[in-house]
Amino acid sequence: MSESKYESKVTSAPCPAEQIYRVLSNMENLERVREFIPQDKIQEMEIEPDRVRLKVDGLGQKITIAIVDRKENDTIKFGAEGIPMDANFWIQLKELSPVDTRIKLTVKADIPMMFRMMIGKKLQEGLDQAADMLSQFPYGQWS
């Protein structure tokens, strides 16, 4: 296996990095979007400030996504447990002005070559969609 790295496109959110960081660095804020999570794909979600445990359709076991490192108003790094590969994910924030914070998502994972060819494009598309979604959250209302 070799490590693969995927980066989202850079998106822009119309608020300060501090507001975005405050919301995204507390996983309990997932409660606010729970209704939008497809119940047929994700079940048994347990949310804590630094981690979420959930059962994903097709994996058969619970996985944990935990915040493993933070750099205030800059980076939030997540690790995953219970998946069949080493993987981490992070969100980078760069404030250009109080009404323009850039967001970029990155995933690094040890994905076998055979699977990389099958999921690489979908993973890239998913990262870009997630970056778009994160740039549109109402951070000011949530913080």
CATH number at residue 104: 3.30.530.20
Q: How many domains, the chain?
A: 1
| DSSP track, 48-83 | -SSEEEEEETTT-SEEEEEEEEEETTTEEEEEEESS
Residue 76 burial (C-beta neighbours within 10 Å; 0-12, 13-18, 19+) = buried
CA dist 62 and 45 (Å) reads: 9
Q: Which contiguous run of DSSP H or E holds residue 43?
A: strand 42-47
pLDDT in tens, the chain (143 residues): 578 899 999 999 999 999 999 999 999 988 887 777 777 778 888 999 999 998 877 767 888 999 999 999 999 999 998 887 788 999 999 999 999 999 999 999 888 888 888 888 888 999 999 999 999 999 988 76
Tell me which residue range forms the domain holding 92. 2-142
Smallest CA-to-CA distance from 91 within 71, 111, 109 is with: 71
